[in-house]
A and B are shown apart, each in its own frame.
Chain A
């Protein structure tokens, strides 16, 4: 028996888009998200390459150049102050570049640790249910009863100031917020047949939680994570502005604002203006980027 030869004709696959093309396409579809992404990338670039980008040591006082306006050259020679200097004669441009490092360190650490811990707790709460879920959710209720900044202030009051303490103060309030959102998605996933199947063949609870449920709630998790990034940067700046966060001489935007806003708002307006702008742009950028991520991961919004 012979079989007739069958020829299948196929259309040629479209050529693979380059990164540039994909970026342009994304920029057309999500212009605001794309702009936010650029801000995030710029911050990352500033943070990583700060030692090469900053023209001056951000912590080195230079009293001969105190409160020099933007666009001036150093009294001591050999330097140009693009954004001026602060009350200690430190270059504001260099401090803003290094400040991105502080913001990213605090923002990323707090957002990642907070949302990952929330993911684990939220999934576990949904999976185990019963008293474990009941008690955990009531504890979460207690934490969520406090506004974010109040909770962070309370934690700083207990543990003290400094970069590590600020990260802790921002991370802790993030955990219950992420856990609550993740739990609601995980409750639906828990009822899926593949979870029953995994349970029926004797997989451990940890394996089911981390291998079968957690990957299926990654969309809300990522949305929370990106939203937390902007919030964490703003919280760090707020705590530093209140004198409860990062301390001098570490360059941090909120701290720079605190040092300059009260005394120099009139006579040396560049001292508070530039760190204020940096905070605004960074938080706006992260929020836009977070919104774009949410839109991309939400099937309903994607179809629109």
Chain B
């Protein structure tokens, strides 16, 4: 297990270090000063990390906040390399049979309003995240279900008491959404104040947000990580259209975009600007899932769902869609390549729809549909009105299903009504949905497929799946975890075919080569504090003049 973990970390690091074009990401002497101009393809729904799940919030707002622990910003590709942010020293070893974690908190840290940060603020933050008062949202509350209580015995100590030992605890508290808020703000202004106000202790201080235009931040002079940040400030420009973001980088109006561009955009930028562009690429902890509505006939029949999965040629899709969309890797329910996830060989032999003989798969699909009495099935695929990769994958899926004689139309909705349909109206037949996570934490990530997980829109119940997940969550033994994970995966993708996987995303970040210090992570939510980024002023002047 350990050697697989090492191999995985090494391969992801290598992958992420891949530089396409003539640019280089190698480190050299960091320079101070300058302003980073990043473009973000989404407006900001609110400033509250505890309730939001979008890069539209993380990219402009994360630099204003601190976390208790975080993914190592110098090694963000690793799924196991976590370091202290507000805590000091190395990560604590658990005590009490893995059920107690004691963190020592830094002294001398202040919020932007000057209030000193103590363990009471950390406790108040995690109490809000894990045990929000009734009526107060905490989007990832289910992730914290192993936490029994949080204590702050003195201003420099925070103790987490767990209900059971869990391998998901550390990745969970390292999530980049866990902004540490001031207890004073929570007590005085209430639990929704942070949706519209910012008061953090991160590397940058909030200056202004002009709705629909930009967010600006300036260097925090009291930042606690020595010598950081390097930048004087940053401006996050809001540009929902991809072509605008692309042209902004090309024309020198912006330096970087952190979410990622499709391959064609990368090629165009590299071809136009040559060594003025650096490209980093990585597997992405994001996957599009086909979600049948089990309450709608004939999708209540597992044979129909299995047939739909069998019709998809994932290997050909990977080969060709990776040329036009931000998808690439064939995988199961867990992040591909992670030690606990199924290997490609295992998937090929054991999971429906992963066999290499697509003709045989499609014959079987037709037979299953015939057996179920739905040979000429006609239905509508519900999809999100976002090109990359939703609409491209949706169009590809329709083509795959046509190949077994199905008649499929596409129903596209903008994001807000799309989610209203999934969560409230529930009047869809089959929908695309996504599972995008921050920290690579497969055991937590696969709660997406759990009927009681809160984010599964297939609308079904299955006691066996719930039991498998509960056992998985409470198992510390890695071998047993792997066994339970495989059983859970088989239950989801084979027995129930309750949902099924299309292709995992692939992250491509082309940016101006004078931007240094940033390292790609397998998530567009990670490593976004901007503290380790610096500008090569001479190179910038060479490229942009002035």
Contacts and interface: CB of A to CB of B under 8 A. Distances in A.
Contact of A88 (B243, B265, B395, B413): B395
30 contacts: A59-B398, A60-B399, A61-B396, A61-B399, A66-B320, A88-B396, A88-B399, A161-B411, A161-B412, A161-B413, A162-B409, A243-B385, A243-B387, A243-B391, A243-B412, A247-B409, A247-B410, A248-B395, A248-B410, A249-B395, A249-B398, A249-B399, A249-B410, A262-B241, A262-B242, A262-B387, A263-B243, A263-B264, A263-B324, A267-B268
Contacts of A60: 399, 402
Contacts of B203: none
A59 B391 CA distance: 15
B411 A162 contact: yes
B316 interface: yes
A251 to B, nearest CB: 12
A88 B399 CA distance: 10
A249 B402 CA distance: 11
Given A59-B402, A266-B268, A247 B243 contact: no
B89 to A, nearest CB: 48
B323 interface: yes
A243 B411 CA distance: 11
Size bracket, chain B contacts: 20 to 34
Size bracket, chain A contacts: 20 to 34
A79 B396 CA distance: 21
Interface in A65-98: 66, 87-88
Interface in B242-283: 242-243, 262, 264-265, 267-268
A249 B400 CA distance: 12
B428 to A, nearest CB: 12
Nearest to A88: B395
Given A66-B324, A248-B398, A262-B242, A267 B264 contact: yes
Contacts of A161: 385, 411-413
A248 B393 CA distance: 11
Nearest to A268: B264
Interface string A40-73: 0000000000000000000111010010000000
Nearest to B267: A267
A31 B165 CA distance: 85
A36 to B, nearest CB: 33
Given A60-B402, A88-B396, A267-B267, 7 more contacts: A61-B395, A87-B392, A161-B412, A161-B413, A243-B387, A262-B387, A263-B262
Contacts of A162: 409, 411
B292 interface: no
B258 to A, nearest CB: 19
Nearest to B398: A249
A249 B410 CA distance: 8
A248 B394 CA distance: 8
A253 to B, nearest CB: 17
B413 A160 contact: yes
A142 B395 CA distance: 39
A14 to B, nearest CB: 56
A271 to B, nearest CB: 11
B504 to A, nearest CB: 19
Contacts of A243: 385, 387, 391, 412
List the 9 shortest-distance A-B pairs measured between CB atoms, nearest first: A63-B320, A61-B399, A248-B395, A262-B243, A247-B410, A87-B324, A263-B264, A247-B412, A243-B385
A274 interface: no
B259 to A, nearest CB: 16
A267 B271 CA distance: 10
Select the residue from B265, B267, B395 with max chain A CB neighbours within 10 A: B395
Interface string B468-482: 000000000000000
Interface in B315-338: 316, 319-320, 323-324
B411 A160 contact: yes
Interface string B397-430: 0110010000001111100010000000000000
Select the residue from A87, A247, A249 with max chain B CB neighbours within 10 A: A247
A161 B385 CA distance: 10
Contacts of B395: 61, 88, 248-249
Contacts of B410: 247-249
A101 to B, nearest CB: 16
A263 B265 CA distance: 7
